[in-house]
């Protein structure tokens, strides 16, 4: 069949690598000059098939930046399925959010700089100490006048590197992926949990582990750690630029950080929160009135149990209802039908949450 097919590609990853189509129509050649896309604007490329050229009724394809070691990837660095396109005359819009970099998921030059603030940072509210790291944008020193939003994260043992016990979110790799599309301008503060004291420090009410110490842990972050971070690094310290986040019990205490300290935290990253341990949280959410506009990203997997997603929906309904008399709470609920209570799922969701909370991207 004859065609005047036009492919239009947008990608937020700007570099000097050319872009090619590789598919069934050219033997899956990854750098065929006949199928090289032409730039027409920043991040905008087109490939026009000349009229009269025979094309199949439909064909599969992928985009590459010159080889399979530079093939397109999904937004969080995962592989993607082949695309499919009709050979009929039309305009086919495509988006590629990320690309392989010489076979890697990310450009290693974009990894954030990880600094140990202290192995024994003083936690006077609980009479103990805690290991704290900071992850700075890879170009932090290049932009010496720039100030950055901050995201405080719990359970530092499982956030970067190989992790301990349960694995890792690999947030340093995810930030490198975000850096490829310039959505990395954020300081991350990683706070290790208190080992055997974790349950008590991440809850406000009494549990089988004992009386909750969550309010003292949150006072540590707001009264001790945050002032140190704001005085030591170039931060934007207002609540619209200050976030807090975690998973499981770390997700629960992040909710309470927002409810109890909304003048500090205006961005909440909440993954698979243990809402069951604190039934009172729904009542607290309804009574809450946001003093500033807030953004809350909530994630849960349907494979985490029969009640995870219904509880998240119930929490969302309760929190949104508070808006009478309070500022707007913009809440995004992300549900993974196959998601389990594991680091690998929270790792995959992390870039999406960061982009939505701090860049407003869906």
For the stretch 274-301, pLDDT in tens is 998 888 887 777 778 888 889 999 999 9
Strand partners of residue 298: 270, 333
Nearest to 331 by CA among 246, 270, 262: 270
Q: How many CA atoms lie within 13 A of 141 on its CB side?
A: 4
CA 110 to chain centre: 16
Q: Is the pLDDT of residue 326 over 90?
A: no
Distance CA 296, CA 309 (A): 16
Ramachandran angles phi, psi of 272, nearest 5°: 45, 55
Our separate counts of H helices and E strands in the chain read 8, 19
State the chain's mean pLDDT as an integer: 93
Could you tell me which residue, 164 or 309, shows the higher pLDDT? 309
Residue 90, helix vs strand vs coil: coil
Contacts of 5 (CB under 8 A, 6+ apart): 48, 49, 55, 85, 87, 88, 89, 90, 92
Query: In this predicted structure, what is the pLDDT of residue 1?
Result: 45
Q: Are 94 and 83 in contact (CB under 8 A)?
A: yes
List, for residues 191-230, the tens digit of each pLDDT value. 999 999 999 999 998 766 668 899 999 999 999 999 999 9
The angle that helices 343-359 and 171-179 make with each other, rounded to 10 degrees, is: 40
- DSSP characters for 203-253? -SS-BTTBS--HHHHHHIIIIIIHHHHHHHS-B--SGGGEEEEEETHHHHH
Tokens of residue 53, six digits: 């050229």
Asked if 82 contacts 62 with a C-beta cutoff of 8 angstroms, the reply is yes
Residues 153 and 175 sit within 8 Å (Cβ to Cβ): no
Q: pLDDT digit string (tens) for 106-159?
A: 999 999 999 999 999 999 999 999 999 999 999 999 999 999 999 999 999 999
Sorted by where each starts, the structural domains of the chain and their CATH numbers stand as: 2-99 (2.60.40.10), 108-359 (3.40.50.1820)
Q: Confidence band (pLDDT; 50, 70, 90) for 3?
A: low
Q: Is residue 238 predicted with pLDDT exceeding 90?
A: yes
Task: State the first-to-last Cα distance of the chain, in angstroms, to the nearest integer.
Answer: 38
Bridge partners (DSSP) listed for residue 151: 188, 243
Token pair, residue 87, equals 């050979």
Percentage of residues in the chain having pLDDT higher than 90: 82
Structure tokens at 302: 């349907």
pLDDT of residue 361: 74
Using 50, 70 and 90 to split pLDDT, how confident is the model at 178?
very high
pTM of the model: 0.93
């Amino acid at each position: 069949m004859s065609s005047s097919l036009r492919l239009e590609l947008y990608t937020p990853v700007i570099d000097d690598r050319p872009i090619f189509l590789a598919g069934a129509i050219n033997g899956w050649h990854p750098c065929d000059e006949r199928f090289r896309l032409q730039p027409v604007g920043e991040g905008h490329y087109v490939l026009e098939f000349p009229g009269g050229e025979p094309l199949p009724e439909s064909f599969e394809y992928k985009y590459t930046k010159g080889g399979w070691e530079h093939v397109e990837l999904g937004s969080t660095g995962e592989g993607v399925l082949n695309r499919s396109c009709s050979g009929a005359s039309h305009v086919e819009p495509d988006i590629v959010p990320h690309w392989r970099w010489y076979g890697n998921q990310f450009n290693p030059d974009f990894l954030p700089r990880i600094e140990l603030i202290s192995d024994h940072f003083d936690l006077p509210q609980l009479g103990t100490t805690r290991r704290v790291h900071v992850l700075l944008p890879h170009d932090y020193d290049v932009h010496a006048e720039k100030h950055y939003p901050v995201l405080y994260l719990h359970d530092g043992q499982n956030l970067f590197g190989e992790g301990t016990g349960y694995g890792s979110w690999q947030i340093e790799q995810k930030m490198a992926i975000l850096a490829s599309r310039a959505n990395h301008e954020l300081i991350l503060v990683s706070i290790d949990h208190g080992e055997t004291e974790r349950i008590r420090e991440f809850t406000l009410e009494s549990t089988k582990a004992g009386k909750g110490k969550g309010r003292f842990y949150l006072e540590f972050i707001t009264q001790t750690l945050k002032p140190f971070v704001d005085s030591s690094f170039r931060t934007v310290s207002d609540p619209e630029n200050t976030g807090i986040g975690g998973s499981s019990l770390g997700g629960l205490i992040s909710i309470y950080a927002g409810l109890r300290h909304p003048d500090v935290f205006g961005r909440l990253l909440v993954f698979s929160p243990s809402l069951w341990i604190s039934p009172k949280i729904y009542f607290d959410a309804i009574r809450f009135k946001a003093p500033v506009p807030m953004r809350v990203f909530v994630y849960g997997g349907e494979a985490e149990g029969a009640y995870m997603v219904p509880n998240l929906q119930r929490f969302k309904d309760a929190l949104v209802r508070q808006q009478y008399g309070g500022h707007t709470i913009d809440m995004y609920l992300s549900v993974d039908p196959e998601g389990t209570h594991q680091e690998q799922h929270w790792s995959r969701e992390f870039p999406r949450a960061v982009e939505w909370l701090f860049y407003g991207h869906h």
